[in-house]
Amino acid sequence: MRKLAAGNWKMNGTRASLSEVEAINAALDDTDPTVVICPPASLLIPACEIGGKISIGAQDCHMASCGAHTGDISASQIADTGATYVIVGHSERRTDHSETNDVIKAKAQAAQKAGLIAIVCIGETLAEREAGETLAVLGQQMSGSIPDGATSQNTVIAYEPVWAIGTGLVPTLDQIDEAHRFMRDELLTTLGADAQNVSLLYGGSVKGSNADDIFSVSDVDGALVGGASISAHDFVPIIKALSRA
Ligand code: PGA
């Protein structure tokens, strides 16, 4: 199982922000987990050029390898920048761009084909949680959006309750534990023994102040961090908490 701290910069950052990638890199040592920064597409190449221990990922890819899709970027183009990861199915993509599980599965498949590691995001809305549907929703999203051929080497799953993203709200540790156990069990039925090696990330309002608690949950292998990943000041304490876990 791979410990992984991933930062999703969303539509934030310009070239001036590359100094934060450099600062995060400089703070890493051999005991730290894998760290991935997913900057906007405009920064993929210069972020990759920084080198060092940090890995770089994109925030989305198109399902096709090339073609007439204005404004999109393909998985192979992402790989060509030197990036090695891509987030697919983030709730903001599911909402803003009406992405369905089928679309997300096709994107994850495209990522596999291009040799990228797909970080597949799932998570329930507040209404779904309040209706007691959380595990059913997670099950549908997993079976619907994780492609055939997924392995611990090419796929990471991020559990991000929609209501916890950017809100400061965090599920209880029991709620995180329940979701992550469920995800591991689901993967065991589809991937067999390799399920134990898949990194399961928690995402949604992770901060330095709550990271130790979140990483103490047994099936949490790391975090997908939004707001707190944009500066080294906020992200490095989360990485160090994961090193300690
Ligand atoms: P947040 O975002 O850490 O700002 O809540 C998490 C995410 O959207 O991946």
Which candidate, 15, 81, 87, places its Cα nearest to that of 49?
Answer: 81
Tell me which of 20, 62, 90, 124 is the catalytic residue.
Answer: 90
Please name every residue paired with 130 in a beta bridge, in sequence order, or none if there are none. none
Contact 138, 179 (CB under 8 A): yes
Token code pair at residue 185: 């069990």
Q: How far is Cα 135 from Cα 122, in angstroms, rounded to an integer?
A: 11
Tell me which of 99, 124, 160, 186 is the catalytic residue.
Answer: 160
Catalytic site residue 130? no
DSSP 8-state code for residue 230: S
Q: How far is Cα 23 from Cα 81, in angstroms, rounded to an integer?
A: 21
Helix-helix angle 134-145:101-113, to 10 degrees: 40
The number of beta carbons lying within 10 Å of the beta carbon of residue 8 is: 26
Token code pair at residue 43: 């920064």
Q: How many residues does the chain have?
A: 245
Catalytic site residue 49? no
The enclosing H or E element of 77 equals helix 75-81
Instruction: Record the pTM.
Output: 0.97
- Indicate the SS3 state at residue 7: strand
Per-residue pLDDT of the chain (245 residues; tens, 9 = 90+): 589 999 999 999 999 999 999 999 999 999 999 999 999 999 999 999 998 899 999 999 999 999 999 999 999 999 999 999 999 999 999 999 999 999 999 999 999 999 999 999 999 999 999 999 999 999 999 999 999 999 999 999 999 999 999 999 999 999 999 999 999 999 999 999 999 999 999 999 999 999 999 999 999 999 999 999 999 999 999 999 999 99
CA 228 to chain centre: 14
Our answer on whether the CB atom of 166 is closer than 6 Å to any ligand 1 atom is yes
Our answer on whether the CB atom of 225 is closer than 6 Å to any ligand 1 atom is yes
